[in-house]
Chains A and B, each alone.
Chain A
Amino acid sequence: MSGRLRVATVWLDGCSGCHMSFLDMDELLLELAPRLELAYSPLVDRKEFPDRVDLALLEGAVSTPEDEAKARLVRAHSRLVVALGDCACQGNVPALRNRLDNEQLLDLVYRQQADGPAAAPPDRNVPPLLTHSLPLHRVIAVDLFLPGCPPPPAAIVRALTAVLDGETLSELPTLKFG
């Protein structure tokens, strides 16, 4: 591969735990750093998704139209897309709401149990919800699944190294769920 691998990390409906796991690669991250360029991420200060990245790691389920649009944008500009963590792989905690009624849920949380003045979602702060919180591959094509809540840093290192070394991603073992 010529030049450094352009990597993006994206935060959809997740708790940021998967990003913490990314940082938990610790000194391994430093070792990989000369071969990587973090082109877009909540961890760096860049507002627009770049034109072209090699590898995008997406954390979180797809829960809102905004998540959906973001996922599609990332897919269009990325060579490889990784579902990072249980939320992106299978819905996980955000998808716990899937067997409840959205209207009742919003009413309970934002009106009946509101501390201050009751909000009226959806509004500026509470986005409209998709009927279900979906795993990433229900919305866009995914090249690699890295389950775990969060996925162990070793799994992320393994995936990054495999891409850098041009290995087949489908051969990578699953390390953890939950």
Chain B
Amino acid sequence: MSGGRVITLQIDGRDCGADENQTILEVAQENGIFIPTLCHLNGLHPVGGCRICMVEVEGAPRPLPACVTHPAEGMRVTTDTPELRRRRRLILELMLAEGNHVCAVCVVNGHCELQELALQLGVDHLEIPALYPRREVDASHPRFGLDRNRCVLCTRCVRVCGEIEGAHTWDVMGRGLKAAIISDLNQPWGEAESCTACGKCVQVCPTGALFEKGKATGEMVKRHLHLPLLTAMRKEEEER
């Protein structure tokens, strides 16, 4: 995003120029500074849901999510401290503990954003006891499947389907531990009339929750490089 005032801020001690309408995450990425993310995906509207991207901003009482926080003149941002890492690890542990993640038998083993984060953050075991919830698998769609045991409720599928495909098949139902991704009015995916079977949700899902049928352990690799392209094209059209 652009068109706002140009400001200067510091990220990890480096002076960065930015447009005030950008997010801290965008500015960091432009300057080659890495901030871990999970729910965010370039090309979709940010929702600030997972909080993995949180950073410290001088003067702020608590860490702020970089993907939805705008920069301000003179802001001082720190992206990596032992405390941030501790918090990110805790969030990841909570996510893993409230689902059923068995990488050894997962379609995206070796190509999973959640697994990659766990490796980066050194989550080699769970201090929090796992809950082993009973979550529903939906295999009713002819081409795709949804295994809610591996869903982290990032809502990327909801957003790509609504914002890019324009079908809005997906939504979130319920709260807390009962929250779950549903299709249409909680019908089986295969019976959801709004679904165009485009497969975009499957490709943007960071985990093995949404997958192509017929793929065995570790065989599914997600492709979502088309996304920024699609959004850029759409924006151009809107501006015309």
Contacts and interface: CB of A to CB of B under 8 A. Distances in A.
A99 B100 CA distance: 9
Given A86-B103, A177-B103, A177-B118, A91 B130 contact: yes
Contacts of A83: 125
A176 B129 CA distance: 21
Contacts of B118: 174, 177
Give chain B's interface residue range (CB within 8 Å of chain A).
20 to 34
A177 B115 contact: yes
B125 A135 contact: yes
B60 interface: no
A123 B181 CA distance: 43
A90 B115 contact: no
B129 A95 contact: no
Contacts of A86: 103-104
A60 to B, nearest CB: 13
A99 B148 CA distance: 14
A95 B132 contact: yes
Interface string B162-188: 000000000000000000000000000
B132 A99 contact: yes
Nearest to A98: B132
Given A137-B125, A145-B124, A177-B115, A93 B104 contact: yes
B122 A174 contact: yes
A138 interface: yes
A90 B101 CA distance: 9
Highest count of chain B CB atoms <10 Å: which of A83, A90, A92, A99: A90
A78 to B, nearest CB: 18
A174 B119 contact: yes
Interface residues of A, number: 26
A130 to B, nearest CB: 13
A142 B118 CA distance: 19
B110 interface: yes
A89 interface: yes
Contact of A89 (B110, B124, B133): B124
Nearest to B105: A93
A169 B133 CA distance: 33
B106 interface: yes
Interface of B: 100, 102-106, 109-110, 115, 118-119, 122-126, 129-130, 132-134, 218
26 contacts: A83-B125, A86-B103, A89-B124, A90-B126, A91-B130, A92-B103, A93-B102, A95-B102, A95-B130, A96-B100, A96-B102, A98-B130, A99-B134, A138-B129, A142-B125, A146-B124, A147-B125, A149-B104, A174-B119, A174-B123, A175-B119, A177-B103, A177-B118, A178-B103, A178-B104, A178-B218
